[in-house]
Amino acid sequence: MKVKICVPVAAETTTEVIDLIERAESLGADLIEVRFDYLNLTGEIRRIARSTPLPLIATNRRFDQGGKKQQDESDRIRSLLEASKHGFEYVDLELNTPELRSVVEKVRNLGSEVILSHHDFDHTPQQKDLEKIVEEMISKGANICKVVTTARRFEDNLICLNLLKNVTKKFRVICFAMGDLGLLSRLLSPLVGGYFTYASITEGLATAPGQVSIREAKEFYEVLGVQYGNIG
């Protein structure tokens, strides 16, 4: 078994983003998520796409799903389509994106795989409700489903992990709970079938509550004797 770790990079300028990508590479990231919602300018997407041989995820997070800022929706989608055009392997689209089916089709026609995502910043729903979300994502054309909740109690970790155990035999799914109480699900999710997990470059560069550094994540997996490696 090989655990795959995605490192998000978030900065205001293209130069800063590329510097962070290089740091993530040096730390052994398997793939990198570029957060366009942090960028002041996205006119150099081609430059970012050519800066690394690692698979890249283009994410321009909606504000109501945890994005850095309010954006014009057409501009937000345009940047993601441009990323797909320039060779980003994955494009992350929120499940509540307007005209989602049309956007999914455009992204897939440009050659990127679609990660459909949903973030619950309030709590962790029951497992049956999470399964319905995954089913909806598949029906909307997801290549990969990403369902992220918020842990309010330890048992919320088990809900996320049980979901993965049930659905990953059929679909590629990412699921864990945010927050300090959700740490267990973040780290264990790939061990029960999650496609990959997320870890920051350093503690101060986390892009979500409870996100550990890639160094800490690797130390955890090494203690367990678990390998980590490139996306295949």
Angle at 26 between CA 25 and CA 27, to 5 degrees: 90
How far is the C-alpha of 212 from the C-alpha of 183, rounded, in Å? 8
Tokens of 65: 């799903």
Distance CA 55, CA 78 (A): 20
DSSP state of 64: G
Phi-psi category of residue 57: left, alpha or beta, with phi > 0 → left and psi -120 to 50 → alpha: beta
Global pTM reads 0.93
Query: For the chain, what are the domain ranges?
Result: 2-228
Residues 6+ apart with CB under 8 A from 72: none
Topology annotation, domain 2-228:
TIM Barrel (3.20.20)
- Among 119, 132, 165, 170, the one annotated catalytic: 119
Catalytic residue (one of 86, 106, 118, 146): 146
Q: Would you give the end-to-end CA distance of the chain in angstroms?
A: 12
- Cα–Cα distance for residue pair 69/95, rounded to 1 Å: 18
List the helix and strand counts (H, then E) for the chain.
8, 10
Handedness of CA 196, 201, 202, 207 (dihedral sign): negative
Per-residue pLDDT of the chain (232 residues; tens, 9 = 90+): 689 999 999 999 999 999 999 999 999 999 999 999 999 866 689 999 999 999 999 999 999 999 899 999 999 999 999 999 999 999 999 999 999 999 999 999 999 999 999 999 999 999 999 999 999 999 999 999 999 999 999 999 999 999 999 999 899 999 999 999 999 999 999 999 999 999 999 877 778 877 899 999 999 999 988 876 654 4
146 a catalytic residue = yes
CA distance 57 to 51: 13
> Position of tokens 């962070």?
20
How do residues 219-231 score in pLDDT, each as one tens digit?
999 998 887 665 4
